[in-house]
């Protein structure tokens, strides 16, 4: 994976995550299907983080995305428990 592709992939993941966060904020029912799989998106971000010599900027973006994914997972767990 090239570093340019990694930057583009992070931007894409950020866009998808924003959509999932907005959907979660406005609905009691969470989206389902392959695009809504938070484990899938976490795996993609982790694959980018595993790249050797990844820029500090890209590392920060990836770690921020992992944090957002964790918060969304927590939100889903809380909603499922209620």
Predicted local confidence at residue 28, as pLDDT: 55
Q: Which domain holds residue 50?
A: 3-81
According to the model, what pLDDT value does residue 15 have?
Answer: 96
Higher pLDDT, 7 or 27: 7
Number of domains in the chain: 1
- Evaluate if residue 67 carries a pLDDT over 90: yes
Residue 66 has pLDDT above 70, yes or no: yes
pLDDT band at 1 (very low <50, low <70, confident <90, very high): low
DSSP 29: S
Q: What is the pLDDT of residues 24-54, one digit of tens each?
A: 776 655 566 666 789 999 999 999 999 999 9
CA distance 63 to 66: 5
Q: Give the residue among 16, 6, 11 at the shortest CA–CA distance from 48.
A: 6
pTM of the model: 0.84
């Amino acid at each position: 994976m090239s570093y340019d592709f990694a930057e583009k992939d992070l931007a894409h993941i950020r866009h998808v995550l924003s959509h999932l966060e907005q959907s979660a904020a406005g609905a009691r029912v969470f989206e389902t299907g392959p695009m809504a799989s938070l484990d899938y998106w976490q795996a993609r971000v982790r694959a980018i983080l595993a790249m050797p010599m990844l820029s500090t900027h890209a590392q920060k973006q990836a770690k921020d995305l992992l944090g957002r994914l964790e918060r969304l997972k927590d939100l889903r767990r809380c909603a499922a428990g209620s």
